[in-house]
Amino acid sequence: MRILGISGGHEPDHQGYPRPAFNAATSHDGAAVLLEDGEVVAAIEQERLNRLKHSNKAPFQAARFCLESRGLRVDDVDYICFYISEDWCNAAVKRGLFSTDPALRTAHDVMRRLVLAEFGVDVEPERIQFVKHHTAHAMSALIGSGYESSLVLTLDGSGDGESGSVSVGSRGELQSLRDIAERDSLGNFYVQVIRFLGFSLFDEYKVMGLAPYGDPSRYRALLQATYTLLPEGAWAIDSDKIADLHDVIRPRAPREPITQDHKDIAASLQEALETIVFHCLRHFQRETGQVSLCFAGGVAHNCTLNGKILRSGLFERVFVQPAAHDAGCALGSAMAVHMRKAPARRPPAMSHLYWGRHIGERAEVRGALDAWRDLISVEELADAPKAAAELIAAGSVIGWAQGRSEFGPRALGNRSIVADPRPAANKDIINAMVKKREEFRPFAPSVTEEDARDYFDLGGAEAMPFMICTVPVHEHRRQQLGAITHVDGTARVQTVSRRTNPRFWQLIRAFGDITGVPVVLNTSFNNNAEPIVDSVDDCVTCFLTTRLDKLVAGDYLVHKKPAPPSAYAELVPSFPAFVKLRSLRGLTPGGYEVERAIVTTYNDATYPVSAETFEVLWRADGRKRLRELLDDVTGREAVIAELIELWSQRVVRLLPATGH
C-alpha cells in the first residue's frame, strides 16, 4: 500500500496559475512524504526544492520528488492525504477561503482539482483522505517513537481551529483526552511576546537562544499576568495582558540593539512557557500513569523546554518528533491513514531522517561541479571523511554534502557546515563567514554515539540523533568545547550512529583521532536568506556567496578560484518562481519617479534595483548568459556586483549554462 502525505498551501510559486488560492497563514512549511507498506521511502520539504524558506506554496514539487524517486505516478498511489480535517476544509470552502469558484463545493472537490491541475489525473474521491491537524502531529510522534503506550502532547500556533491536544497512544491508536482551543495557543502566545523584542513568526528559536542571557525574575510577574493555570492541567491565555508590556518597555525595532531588558523578557517568556507545559504534563501523567511521552507541534521545537522535560524525571522515556512543525504533518497524516487501513502493520520506529534527494553518484556530482569550472576547481578524494577532518582540524570551515538530504529543519550531517568545536572564537568566525546571524545564538555539536556521554549529560536517553533537546555539557568539558557551549552550559547535541550515517560518523571519528575530541560543530549548510541546501548547485551557490573555506560534495573537494567579474558573466541569470520584477511610476514631492524592484510573491518583500540591472533582468530568459545581456549596458562591473549581491539574497539565480 502506497500513501502520499502532503502539507502546505494551495498556491503555486508564481501568480496566475489555474489553481485555487488558500490563506497562506495556515499553510507554511509544506512537505510531502511517501509511505510504502508503512515505511517512509521518500520525504522532503517544499522549501528545499523551490528555495523559499518555510514555503507556503503548494507542495507539488515535493510530491513529484517522492513519486519520481520511486519511479511512480499518481495513479500508483493508493491514498493521497492532507493534514487538515475534512469538516474544517468543508467549512473553509463555504467561506471562500480556498476558492470563489462555485463549482468547488467540498474539500474533496478542491483537492481533486489541485491534483488534476498538477498531475493531469482525476483522482477518485475515496483516494483523497483528510486527517485532523493535531491528529497528524500526534501520529507522527506516536508512530515515530515506537512506543507501545505513551502520553502524547501536541502544541503549536493553530490548526483546524485548535492549538494542541493531549492523548494517550496505545498500539498505534489515539484516545483523545483534551483538545486545546486556539485562544489558549502557546505558539501564538510566544509569537505575540517576541514581537516586543523585534522578532516575528519563525523567529521563536532565536528568542529561545536569547533567554539564557536574561534574568526571568525581572518580568516574571508581568508574564504571569498573561496566563492563568486552571485545574486539571488546563490554562487560559489573556492576550490583552500581553499589551501591558507597552507600559514597561518600548517595542524594539528589528535592527535596534538588544538590551538587557530584552534578554530578561526573553527569559521570563521561556520560563512562562515551561511553567504552563509542566502544569499540563504533571496532571496528565498523574491521571494516566503513562511513563513515556511523545511530543510534536511547532512548540516542540523549543529545545530548551524539551531538555528540561527529559531531565525532569517525570517520564522514563521522551520522544520529540524531530520534524515537529507542520512539515511533519505530511508524515503524520500518512501514518494516520496507514493505521486506518492496515492497523496490523505498524510502521517501524524512526531511526533517521535521511529521506530526501541524493546528492548524486560520483559521475553526477563531478558533472555538476565541472559546470562551475570558471569559478571553482575540483579535486577527487580517496577518503572524503578523513580529508574533511584534516581540514577542520587545521582551522577550515567547510560545507559538507553527502547522500540523501535530511527531512525537517535540522542539518544532521548530510547538508552541514562543519567546523572545530573547540575555539570559542569560531562562533564569531562562522557568523561573519556565512550566517550573518545574531551573536547570542549558539551553534550545535555532533558527537559519535559511543563518546557522547563523555562530553554531555544525556539524562535517561540512550541516544539523541535528531538535535532536538538541549543538554548540559559536562562542566570539565565546557572550556574544551567553547564554540558549541551556550552561556548556560548547555548544547543542542546530535549523537551520530555509524549504522545510520557512516560517512559523518567517520568524519567525526577521524577528527577525534587527530585532536582527541570526537565532536564537531555542525550547523545547517545555508546562508541567512535561504533554506538548507539540497542539490550540488545549491551547495556551490552557497559556497561562492559566503566565505566558506572549502566544500566537500560526495568524494570531491572544491576550491574557489580567484575570479574576475568576467567569470560571473558566463553564468545564466534567472528568477526563482516566487519573485517578480516590478516597475512603478508615481508622483512624489520631487516630481514623477520610477521605482524598480524585485518583489516576492509570498510576503511582498521588496528589493530595489538600479535601472541598468533592472534592464538586464527584464531581458533575462533563463537561457542567455549574463555576458550576452550586458552587451549594450554601461557600468558592467557595477551591474555584475549588484547581481551577485541579489544572488546572495537568493532573489536572483545565477547558474552555469549547462546547469540550469
Instruction: Decide: helix, strand or coil at residue 436.
Output: coil
| Angle made by CA atoms 263, 265, 270, in degrees to the nearest 5 | 95
- CB proximity list for 68: less than 8 A, separation 6 or greater: none
- Distance from the first to the final alpha carbon of the chain: 36
The three grid cell numbers given for residue 173, joined into one nine-digit string: 491508536
The full DSSP string for 322-385 is TT-STHHHHHHHHHHHHHHH-TTSPPPPP-----S-B---HHHHHHHHHTTTTTEEEEE-S-HH
The three grid cell numbers given for residue 360, joined into one nine-digit string: 548524486
The reply to whether 133 belongs to the active site is no
Please count the other Cβ atoms lying within 10 Å of the Cβ belonging to residue 190: 24
Round to whole Å and give the CA distance between 82 and 460.
35
Please count the other Cβ atoms lying within 10 Å of the Cβ belonging to residue 213: 17
Check 10, 28, 338, 486 and give the catalytic one. Answer: 28
The answer to whether 141 and 160 are in contact (CB under 8 A) is no
Cβ burial, residue 273 (10 Å; 0-12/13-18/19+): buried
| Angle made by CA atoms 468, 469, 475, in degrees to the nearest 5 | 140
| Cα four-point dihedral sign 103, 106, 107, 108 | negative
Please count the other Cβ atoms lying within 10 Å of the Cβ belonging to residue 602: 19
| Cell 491534483 found at | 115
Where do the DSSP E strands lie in 504-602? 519-524, 550-553, 556-560, 572-574, 579-588, 591-600
Q: Give which of 341, 422, 433, 426 is closest to 77, Cα–Cα.
A: 341
Round to whole Å and give the CA distance between 456 and 491.
8
Backbone dihedral angles phi then psi of residue 211, each to the nearest 5 degrees: -55, -40
The answer to whether 620 and 598 are in contact (CB under 8 A) is no
Round to whole Å and give the CA distance between 113 and 120.
9
Distances (CA, A) of 150 to 155, 176, 295, 317, 348: 16, 12, 10, 9, 16
Round to whole Å and give the CA distance between 92 and 89.
5
Backbone dihedral angles phi then psi of residue 544, each to the nearest 5 degrees: -80, -20
Catalytic positions, written as ranges: 28
